[in-house]
């Protein structure tokens, strides 16, 4: 079976269009010599005078068609169309200026019975309640739980469509149609239309309002003068971002960045990462190997250098020192936290000193532990923690740390473990690419036997394979890149999905194998 990245699995059936609303059918003749195209939300009473029909009967009515579509009348053509009464406050403004106020659409014995195929709807507005979306090229699927852009909102058993907003030529968000006459302080600065939102609260479809640079509302956007259930009004002061067919979710946080080049930020943004935490000073040997921005000068310089980059950035100072004052001055210079790295000497005394200062100043500490076991084994490092909270990077060990025991740190209640994406997930090329990456980023020489042994001690297929399971269990709770050292800044999110995909597939295979074993007995 061919997998199509991001494909939809649309629920079978159709949906009601403008259900319960008055409708009427009229015959329209284009008496002009040019084609005339009328959009879904144009007040039909005020269309081009070259269209001939019983105009008085259409006061307060519009075309009963899928939102954002249109009907085209060719010169000399006569065609029958169905109109639907406008909703909302039933105030008409704009168009030819003939009304400019309240209207009272005539009642009708008929209400809308139109249905729209769900697949056609998805082509225009993306998936809705009950539809599924494949995450990239994985076997992970999102199912839409409810849709706030429909009349029914969270009442998934009675979806009624027809009032969605969409920007473009002949579409909905135009003056008097999906755009109201409200003042700037009464409307959103920006609306993201028809986005599929994935957040802690669920998976759902909605419009999103932004005001003053912050998300101010999630719901149904539009013009309350002619549309029902509008919670996010659109006005002349509103910009539009098209969210149809896109997933909107919280920006990713990459907590392990070697800040070597500004181009990293663009790549991260393109992948969905909006916060980068780490250290470095640019293309220096210390930065290639460690995520430390050492000292006040470098911290100030990096803050200035990244000030214009549209990314949330935090720099870790160097925590490898055995007296408090050098750490204090880095915190006061603007370091967001401290990093202990074995290449600067992650000794028990340095660990204890760094954590003591961090406790006093309420900042976080991250650590890359001692691969060499030079000052002691893992227990010595855990003892230096003294039950204080600390973040252990690439806790599996391929990125560095007590060989081969660092994985045990996951069991400590005060340790926040994470993975870095070069080992995620464990596949056929994972081991092969690691040795060269490690030698380069840690300034090691293939001509020195001890350097090679140091590198090889960190790369173990057994612990990398175990990391798959520990991530799936949630025992390892974070993913980061180790960007420009051993990792790829643009792959944090996709490798998280791929790890989940692999474990889902492995569980299915395991169940099938065990079922076969049972059937043999």
State the DSSP code for 408: G
Instruction: Report the run of H or E that residue 194 belongs to, with start and end.
Output: strand 190-199
Catalytic residues: 442
Query: Which of 40, 119, 125, 140 is closest to 83 using CA atoms?
Result: 40
What is the residue-wise DSSP string for 111-135? B---EEEHHHHHHHH---TT-EEE-
Between CA 270 and CA 382 the distance in angstroms is 38
- The helix (run of H) or strand (run of E) holding residue 239 is strand 239-242
The CA-to-CA distance between both ends of the chain, in Å, stands at 32
Q: Which among 97, 117, 92 is positioned nearest to 41, based on CA atoms?
A: 92
Work out the number of other CB atoms within 10 angstroms of the CB of residue 510. 10
Q: Are 207 and 258 in contact (CB under 8 A)?
A: no
What sign results for the dihedral spanned by CA atoms 354, 360, 366, 367? positive
Indicate the DSSP class of residue 491: G
Cα separation of 458 and 372, whole Å?
Answer: 10
φ, ψ dihedrals at 208, nearest 5°: -125, 130
Q: Tell me if 80 sits within 8 A of 26, measured CB to CB.
A: yes
Calpha distance 373→350 (Å, rounded): 15
Q: What are phi and psi of 92, to 5 degrees?
A: -110, 125
d(CA 281, CA 94): 57
- Number of Cβ within 10 Å of residue 327's Cβ equals 27
- Residue 139 contacts residue 497 (beta carbons within 8 Å): no
Rounded distance, CA 85 to CA 106, Å?
Answer: 8
């Amino acid at each position: 079976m061919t997998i199509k990245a991001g494909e939809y699995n649309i629920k079978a059936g159709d949906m009601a269009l403008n259900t319960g609303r008055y409708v009427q059918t009229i015959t329209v003749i284009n008496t002009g010599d040019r084609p005339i195209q009328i959009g879904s939300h144009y007040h039909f009473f005020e269309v081009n005078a070259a269209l001939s029909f019983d105009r008085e009967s259409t006061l307060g009515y519009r075309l009963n068609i899928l939102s954002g579509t249109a009907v085209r009348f060719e010169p000399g053509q006569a065609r029958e169309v169905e109109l639907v009464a406008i909703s909302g406050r039933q105030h008409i403004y704009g168009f030819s200026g003939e009304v400019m106020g309240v209207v009272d659409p005539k009642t009708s014995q008929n209400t809308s019975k139109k249905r729209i195929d769900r697949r056609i709807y998805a082509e225009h507005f993306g998936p809705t309640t009950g539809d599924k979306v494949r995450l990239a090229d994985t076997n992970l699927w999102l199912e839409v739980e409810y849709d706030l852009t429909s009349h029914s909102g969270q009442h998934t058993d009675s979806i009624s469509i027809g009032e969605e907003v969409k920007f473009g030529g002949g579409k909905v968000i135009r003056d008097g149609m999906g755009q109201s006459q409200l003042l700037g302080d009464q409307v959103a600065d920006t609306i993201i239309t028809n986005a599929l939102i994935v957040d802690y609260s669920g998976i759902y479809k909605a419009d999103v309002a932004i005001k003053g640079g912050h998300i101010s509302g999630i719901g149904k956007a539009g013009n309350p003068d002619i549309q029902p259930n509008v919670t996010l009004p659109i006005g002349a002061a509103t910009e539009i971002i098209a969210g149809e067919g896109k997933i909107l979710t919280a920006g990713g946080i990459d907590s392990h960045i070697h800040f070597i080049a500004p181009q990293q930020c663009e790549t991260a943004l393109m992948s969905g990462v909006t916060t980068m935490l780490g250290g470095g000073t640019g293309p220096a040997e210390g930065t290639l190997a460690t995520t430390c921005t050492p000292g006040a000068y470098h911290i100030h310089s990096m803050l200035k250098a990244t000030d214009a980059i549209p990314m949330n950035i935090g720099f870790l100072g160097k925590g490898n020192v055995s007296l408090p004052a050098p750490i204090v001055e880095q915190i006061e210079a603007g370091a967001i936290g401290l990093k202990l790295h074995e290449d600067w000497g992650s000794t028990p005394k340095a660990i204890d000193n760094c954590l003591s200062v961090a406790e006093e100043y309420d900042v976080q500490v991250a650590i890359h532990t001692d691969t060499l076991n030079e000052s002691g084994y893992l227990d010595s490092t855990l003892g230096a923690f003294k039950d204080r909270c600390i973040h252990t990077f690439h806790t599996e060990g391929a990125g560095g740390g007590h060989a081969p025991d660092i994985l045990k740190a996951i069991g400590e209640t005060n340790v926040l473990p994470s993975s870095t994406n070069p080992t995620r997930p464990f596949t056929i090329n994972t081991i092969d690419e690691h040795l060269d990456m490690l030698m380069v980023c840690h300034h090691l020489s293939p001509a020195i036997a001890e350097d090679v042994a140091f590198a090889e001690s960190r790369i173990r297929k057994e612990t990398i394979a175990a990391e798959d399971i520990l991530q799936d269990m949630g025992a390892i709770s974070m993913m980061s890149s180790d960007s420009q050292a051993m990792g790829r800044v643009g792959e944090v999110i996709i490798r998280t999905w791929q790890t989940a995909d692999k474990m889902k597939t492995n569980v299915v295979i395991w169940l099938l194998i065990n079922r076969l074993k049972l059937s043999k007995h």
